Every structure is written in C-alpha cells, then in structure tokens.
Amino acid sequence: MAQQDKTEAFDLLLALEQRSVAVAVGLPQQQQLRRPWSGIGFRVGKQNLVAAVGDVNEILYLPQVTLIPGTKSWVKGMANIRGNLMPVLDLQDYLGTPPVNIGRHSRILVVNHLDLWAGLLVDEVFGLKHFYDDEKLTGKITTSKQLAPYLTNGFRQNDNPWYIFSMKILTQTPDFLRVAV
C-alpha cells in the first residue's frame, strides 16, 4: 500500500507542475543594453565635433580678454577666471581657417590636461551629446588635413557626422604649445 501512496503523491505533484506551467507567465526577455558614449558637442567652422566629457572642464561665455603682444594670431589673450589667469585660444584660427566670428553663440571650452589650462574659443557649443555603437563611423574619416590629426573616430547621427576631437592630442602637440611669434 505504501507504493500506491507514493505513486498517487507523485501523480499529484506531476499534475500540479503541469497546471503551473500552463498558467505561468514567462520570464521577461533579456534586452541588450545600449550604453551611450557621451561627449560635449561643439562647432568649429562648419564642422560638428564632440570631445569626451572628461576632456572639457567647463564651458564659459567669452570673458574679457587682455591681448598679449608677441603671440600668434590664434592667441586671443589672457582672461581672469575666478582669480586665475587663463589663455584664450581661437581653435578655428589655430587649425588654419579664418578666426571665429564672435557672436552670441560663441563659447570657451576650458581644458586642463597635464597642467595645461586653456580656454578654446569655438563657434558654438551644443551641450551634452550621446552616441551609440551602431552610430559609429566605419572607414576612413574624410575632413580637412588641419583637423585630421586631432580626430580619433566619429559617429553619424541624423545623417550628420560628429567627429571625436581629442583635447589630449591637441594639448600635446608641439605647434599648439608654441604661442610666441
């Protein structure tokens, strides 16, 4: 009789399992998380660029600038930022194109890399931009030869290329460090 009790108990458990499986809600599907790459979007001339968030310390309106004699044309002067002197440099002029036409959208990107603290004058800042792996550019980057050495990759968003501009490469370039005429 004990054998029959075991069989009945097993049959009951089997029936319970089958009913549970029949009405059970499935587990949620695992979704692939899209991790964005984030950067500060800005414009130099007609080119949209983006710098890694960690490469830009802050964004400023154009401060009052004091000219420095004997410097290259792209050195706009020195500015007093909260009691600290900061050189202001026209990134567009440095890259060999006409200087930034200063307007209401012009901004300063403050960079601080290896104790080089400088403000880069750009035409416009678009703020934080987010890009995903499927937007990454493939193939060779085609842009001006003056800009190309500072680009590490890029993204295409809404049919517009956004090239990654490396502030680290810029601040380690010997020509960028030579400001005297």
Predicted pLDDT of residue 3: 67
Predicted pLDDT of residue 2: 65
Mean pLDDT for the stretch of residues 103-131: 95
Predicted pLDDT of residue 30: 67
Q: Is the pLDDT of residue 44 over 60?
A: yes
Of the listed ranges 26-40, 47-61, 64-78, 109-123, the least confidently predicted one is: 26-40
Of the listed ranges 18-22, 106-110, 127-131, the least confidently predicted one is: 18-22
Residue 24 φ then ψ, to 5°: -70, 145
CA 142, 145, 146, 151 torsion: positive or negative? positive
Kindly report the pTM of this predicted structure: 0.79
Residue 86's contacts (CB-CB under 8 Å, 6 or more residues apart) are 78, 79, 80, 110, 117, 118, 119
β-bridge mates for residue 44, sequence order: 47
Mean pLDDT for the stretch of residues 18-27: 80
| Residue with the two structure tokens 């600290």 | 84
d(CA 126, CA 136): 19
pLDDT, greater one: 13 or 83: 83
pLDDT over 70, % of the chain? 95
- CATH topology classification for 38-177: OB fold (Dihydrolipoamide Acetyltransferase, E2P) (2.40.50)
